[in-house]
Amino acid sequence: MTIITRFAPSPTGNLHIGNVRTALHNWLWAKKHGGQFLLRIDDTDLERSREEYVDGLQADLRWLGLHWDGMARQSARFALYEARFEELKAKGRVYACYETPEELELRRKVLLGRGLPPVYERKDADAPVPEGRTPHWRFKLDHDTPIRWTDMIRGEQQFDPKLLSDPVIRRADGSWLYMLPSAIDDIDMGVTHVVRGEDHVTNTATQIQMFDAMGAAAPQFAHEALLTGSEGKLSKRLGSLGMAELRDQGIEPMAILSLLARLGTSQPVEPVTDPAPLIAGIDFGHFGRAPARFDEAELTQLNAKILHQTDFAAVADRLPPAMDEAGWIAIRPNIEKLADAESWWLVATGDVVASVAAEDQDYLQTAIAVAQKIDWSDDPWHGLTNALKDETGRKGKPLFLPLRQALTGQDHGPDMKALLPIIGKDRALARLEAARR
């Protein structure tokens, strides 16, 4: 069996971090099993769907490296939905309803007031049709058949259909709601596995009966715990934290994937520069039931760790034009975001304003004399500091710090062994001279 997963966003807004986590887990599962990952644009809501959101979510997925193997749009599939709807109507599995929203809400309050579950109460088939009303349509659940499935994360699940309302599947204006078109598409596209949030568990219970009513086996489901903020409660920010904002902050795609792949699992979050280990490691048996905490500070730290092990070729086209591989290797241990590379490159190759303590001025004069004599072709930093140690007796911080301050204008920074060859002899001597004035 070919494993087929799908990501089915509605183009009514930008992708946020929770959407991306769902897309990623579906993508990883398909890739691990040599299957297919499909992108389905759930744009049945024609009033709220926007083409710019379709373009945006595709761009976000490409930026993340989550490339799809096929794409479909629900707005192009209305004829299929109509045909399946008529078949279900002929089987008696969909029926017309005429209540107004106000009437439904009133009845809901009455049931709750009596301590009863607010389940929709079916009308007799021969009940009179209110004059002048256009019906909406519900799917008729089979109350005699318990709903059961084995969830890949939550384990054995069971629902009593008598405690579920028959879901509305079509509005009075003929437009479709989510439930039935989604099930029809999953059948038609051969979807074998659906990974989504635990807020869809009840939807899954009703959709399982829809699959059965259409003579199809349901996909396997994995309902993952929802994300929460670092403070431990649901955060509105998680619903608005989009890829554009993270890009603007300088977050790398692999940092996002590395965190979201393992968040909420028993597996450690590790910085990786390639998705291969994430693909190999996806296992829903490792996913927990507790809410998964998303922390932007953790993402930033992970971003830095990933950049620290990223090869030059992977970022060369985004670095300052003159920076070569030696420059990248020298500065990458000291950056959190790739944009930091430019400032450190200026430290190595630009103008530096240094401030060195008065008591170190004579030491710098000695350093100038030594720097003119050492071999600059092989590890000039250790050549310089070893010679100065022998000549002045200095060691530790008094030996190294004045040199770093004079040569870089900073108290901390990249390893001077890697940085000094990039600064070069002439620039280094000029900076030492300037720091004495």
d(CA 98, CA 85): 18
Q: What is the structure's pLDDT at 128?
A: 84
- Which one is the CATH code of 230-308: 3.90.1170.50, 1.20.1440.230, 3.10.450.50, 1.10.1160.10? 1.10.1160.10
pLDDT value for 232: 64
Instruction: Pick one of 1.10.10.350, 2.40.40.20, 3.40.50.300, 1.20.120.1200 as the CATH number of 322-437.
Output: 1.10.10.350
| Helical (H) or strand (E) element with 427 | helix 425-435
User: Same fold for the domain at 80-170 and the one at 230-308?
Assistant: no
Contact 237, 302 (CB under 8 A): no
Q: Name the residue among 292, 296, 303, 376 with its Cα closest to residue 337.
A: 303
DSSP output for 210-229: HHHHTT-PPPEEEEEPPEEE
- The CATH architecture of the domain made up of 4-70+179-228 is 3-Layer(aba) Sandwich (3.40)
Convert 306-353 into a string of H (helix), E (strand) and C (coil).
Answer: HHHCCCHHHHHHHCCCCCCHHHHHHHHHHCCCCCHHHHHHHHHHCCCC
The reported pTM is 0.92
SS3 content of the chain, % helix, strand, coil (to 5): 50, 15, 40
- By the 8 A CB rule, do 24 and 65 touch? no
Q: Six-digit token pair at 171?
A: 């509005």
Query: Where are the chain's structural domains?
Result: 4-70+179-228, 80-170, 230-308, 322-437
Residue by residue, pLDDT tens for the chain (437 residues) are 899 999 999 999 999 999 999 999 999 999 999 999 999 999 998 889 999 999 999 999 999 999 999 999 999 999 999 999 999 999 999 999 999 999 999 999 999 999 999 999 998 877 888 888 999 999 999 999 999 999 999 999 999 999 999 999 999 999 999 999 999 999 999 999 999 999 999 999 999 999 999 999 999 999 999 998 876 665 667 777 899 999 999 999 999 999 999 999 999 999 999 999 999 999 999 999 998 899 999 999 999 999 999 999 999 999 999 999 999 999 999 999 999 999 999 999 999 999 899 999 999 999 999 999 999 999 999 999 999 999 999 999 999 999 999 999 999 999 999 999 999 999 999 999 999 87
What is the pLDDT at residue 396?
A: 96
What is the CB neighbour count within 10 angstroms for residue 152?
19
* Type of residue at 171: R
Whether CATH 3.30.70.260 fits 80-170: no
User: Helices (H), strands (E): how many in the chain?
Assistant: 18, 12
pLDDT for 234: 59
